[in-house]
Amino acid sequence: MKQVKGERSKVKGKGLKTKNEKLTENARPKGFAFYLLPLTFYLVFTLLPFTFNLLPSVCFADGEVARIQKAYENIKDVRGDFVQKGYIRDLKRTDTYSGQFFIKPPKIKWEFRGDKPQVVYVNGEDLLIYQKKEKQVFRTKFDRATYGQAPIALLGGFGDINKEFDASMKKGRLILKPKKRMGSVTEIEITLSDGVFPIEQLTVLDTASNRIDITLKNVRVNTGLGEKIFEFTPPEGVTVIQQ
């Protein structure tokens, strides 16, 4: 169905019926999970060795990136649980969410549980955020500018790290700073793991000094995730908002 920017389409039965309606503030995504979620699912799937100068921290970062690259070579899909803590500087508030995630690059599903359940789908070029209680779906293009809305997408694959980021080590963590603008992201900190999946925690910092900490738990790799896990059809009565 063809949709126009700013329009809503109401799901009735199996079809979508479009009507022009100005998007109000109340129709926008609610909660820190959405606004910091793009930062919030594309990190380290095809990592290449770095060729920086011989500063100790950079040389050590080079070795850690190579280690992650080697681990990723044998990973086809990933699933597990997560705890996401988001600190909002202006509100001086920390919100905590938990749920489960599924990754089969380039597809990702990030499901938040609790009082405000929502599911984030990254499907190639599209980003969908389904808010169950509000009965609405936000659909937009997924690109470099939308990482702030889906930080978990960082786990799907960075591509050529040498071209995309400057890397260093700080207090045992791998620090990645985008060379070019990546939405509101200014820095990504990675806590490495010795388990089957090389990343234990992901921290994303943005231009407003907000912070997201994503801790991965019960991670399993190569379980043979099916395509249906990443498919989504808006339920009857749900409003689809194209952005």
- Mind listing the pLDDT tens digit for each residue in 63-96? 887 777 777 778 899 999 999 999 999 999 999 9
Direct distance between the N- and C-terminal alpha carbons of the chain, in angstroms, rounded to an integer: 15
Q: What is the pTM of this model?
A: 0.72
- Mind listing the pLDDT tens digit for each residue in 15-37? 444 444 444 444 444 443 443 44
Residue 237 to residue 227: CA distance in whole angstroms: 25
CB 148 within 8 A of CB 184: yes
- Mind listing the pLDDT tens digit for each residue in 184-198? 889 999 999 988 888
Q: What is the mean pLDDT of residues 146-167?
A: 64
- pLDDT beyond 60 at 42: no
Nearest to 232 by CA among 53, 109, 61, 60: 109
Query: Which tops the pLDDT comparison, 213 or 161?
Result: 213
Question: Is 232 in a helix, a strand, or coil?
Answer: coil
Report the amino acid identity of residue 17: K
- The CATH code of domain 30-229 reads 2.50.20.10
